[in-house]
Structure 1
Amino acid sequence: MKKILKAIGLILALLIIVGAIFYVANNESLPTGIKSEKAEALATKMMKALNYEAYKNTEVLEWRFRGKHFYKWYKSENIVEVSWDKNKVILHTKQPEKSVVFVSDINTENQQLIQQATNYFNNDSFWLVAPFKVFDTGVERSIVKHNEKDALLITYTSGGSTPGDSYLWILNEEGFPTSFKMWTSSIPIGGIEASWSDWKTTAAGFQLPIKHKMSLFGVELKMGDVKASNPKADALAHKILKTIKHEAYKKTRYIEWSFRGKRFFKWDKQKHIVEVSWDNNKVILHTNNIEKSTVFIDEKESTENKNEIVKKAEAIFNNDNFWLVAPHKLFENGIIRNIVNIDGKEALKVKYTTGGSTPGDSYIWIVNDAFLPIQFLMTVPSMKMDQVPATWDDWFTTESGTLLPKNHTFSSGGKLSMGDVKAFN
């Protein structure tokens, strides 16, 4: 027996020595950061790289943590479904007393499960959306030099399950996070690094991580099939498309119109070719293959200043067709949709992240009771426009069966005519 106890004692002593060596070799002290405008600027750059606006306006997030905890987070309503084992908690994050608990699909009063769900959610959601939280209440931001580059040190002074934790965000040149180092109460070794390099672009227009890899023993945290969506906004967009007969628009081949009586268009939508005319210029613009475009001056083909004239025709077309068919473009790539309230009624905000001449523009569509667009509010940073209103008037059913507008009116009283609008096959 004494030999066995002695052997156990030697093993324990050896483990303690190995553990101490491992701790000394891997533990890093929390760096001292400098709170400054530079730190605020770096955090802002990070938010822009992450497309924080899209995240902020997202309605629903879904993921699973390590295949054990399952989440459907109605973010705009502050409600999250948390499921694990035989348990399911409808957790009201702002009003926990409203939470509902089910065990094996049977409603039960179990406050302990509500607290457990809260702890799971605080931890597991952090691994999904931590970089979006750097401007939360109770967060301190400072600058730290890491490998001779600026890194963002975040300290949570309040909130969550473990206030006091700190994270050093390591960013690429664009400000996008690639990893962080942790100093937390739950991990005794400081400076453990976790990757933030495996991302998925969601339907809501921003990226979420699908997994993380820890520097400690190579542990991997999988986030499952992450999703972010705006079902209410999408439902409103679909109602608008139904009202303006979008299915007929998709089948429409030819559209003709003019812009202020000065620029004239004949668009073969099926072949992606549009005839753009202004002054003595005419461009046969191949929108999907600009190099094939041809230029005519006074009805004669010309190569003089061709690139400049084609580029101008493309810019004219991008602007002028928007005033005719913008509501038909609600589900094109690079568009973020979300619900906003205007004068107590729901309206649809769309933001263009790519495409056109000025990505970054956004428009709030105001509809009538039949979901027909009657006005939008334009935010165009390049023109210093912030929610400038314009009407969408005189909608009519075209020969092809779709609806298109004939006129617009600005808040200044100015009119914009689309001329003799035609759409046919």
Structure 2
Amino acid sequence: MVKPAPLQTLAGKRLLLVIGGGIAAYKVLDLIRRLRERGASVRPVMTAAAKEFVTPLAVSALSNESVHSDLFDLDRENEIGHIRLSREADLVVVAPATANLLAKMANGLADDLASAVLLATDKPVLVAPAMNPFMWANPATARNVERLRADGVHFIGPEAGEMAERNEAGVGRLAEPMSILAGIEALLGPSGPLTGPLAGRRAIVTSGPTHEPIDPVRYIANRSSGKQGHAIAAALARAGAEVTLVSGPVTIAPPAGVTVVPVETAREMLAAVEAALPADLAVMAAAVADWRVAAEGAEKIKKAPGSEPAPLHLVENPDILATVSRHPKRPSLVVGFAAETQNLLSNAAAKLARKGCDWIVANDVSPGTGIMGGDRNRVHLVSAAGVEDWPEMSKDEVAARLVQRIAGSFSGSLGGGTAEDSGAQ
């Protein structure tokens, strides 16, 4: 099957892309490609440090534009000038925005071309920070970020995860290109009614884990990061849907262009989902805890020397997927997820029948797969029409492909559909 071309959501839009000097700069090459696919023109500015991580040749080849980097290049200044460069754009994007670049922006410094165009621009600015977690948590960076937010600068990320440095992890990773793209589209999208194959549709997405309290200190949880659910919410928004994202506790940034309802427990998640109904479609991607403690301790449960462990009496949590599938305000299309460690397809098919949803997205989350909490996924789309096996791909790509299926199921119809209806082979 021929993969559909991306929607021209940024046709005619002009971006000035300031590339900072960090190891995450390699991701910007993918961002440029995706921006060009969606019709945007990208004029790149690179700091001297950025050129240590990615080559101007690669940036120029992907953007089809000359790379600007030298504030004192007389030929370039005569040709365009840094003032014009800063103004001839609809949006200025800084990615990766290093701690140094953020500091320059916050304090009005202009000692190179990148900082000069940022100081001279009269256009909106979107920054995607990326740095070591200790640098991001430093009070100086926090002050700079607070000042920039107050000045109207838009932020996307950073995200939590492993760093390039060995044995370093935390908040500081550059947002993924698709997340940055969603932020750009949210800022430059049409001011009138949403466009796209799901324009006018209302969607509910659940994402992340739930935390079920044992006492004020401890809780029952799982290893879900929310990356797949958040990516689906972002992809639905890019397709024109009005999205409500009901998210359990996660450390990743919320996607742009969606309404986020943060929750902690399964009961809170169910209440938030029911409050968001009616909707045209629901994607229940959250890893909801099946059980909770029957009686949450009002105080921390103490360990007494020589005593037996305090017993935990568990009760079943509400079944959110089944409740939505049988709800009086049931969406036309309800998509569930099955995270399994054995008998993947048989368990997914049984879940499809038991829950009453339309599709199940099944994946193997055994420890060796790295899927739970990772950036990649391999799923199977299970419906009454059969099973469609998808190859391993990034979670952003899984989200984009799932949204294509969803859009296909609604094409020419107000009702939900099956994988067969949406053109699955």
Q: Same fold (TM over 0.5)?
A: no
TM-score normalised according to structure 2 size: 0.23
Q: Which one has the bigger helix percentage?
A: 2
Asked which structure has the greater CA Rg, the reply is: 1
Q: Which one has the bigger strand percentage?
A: 1
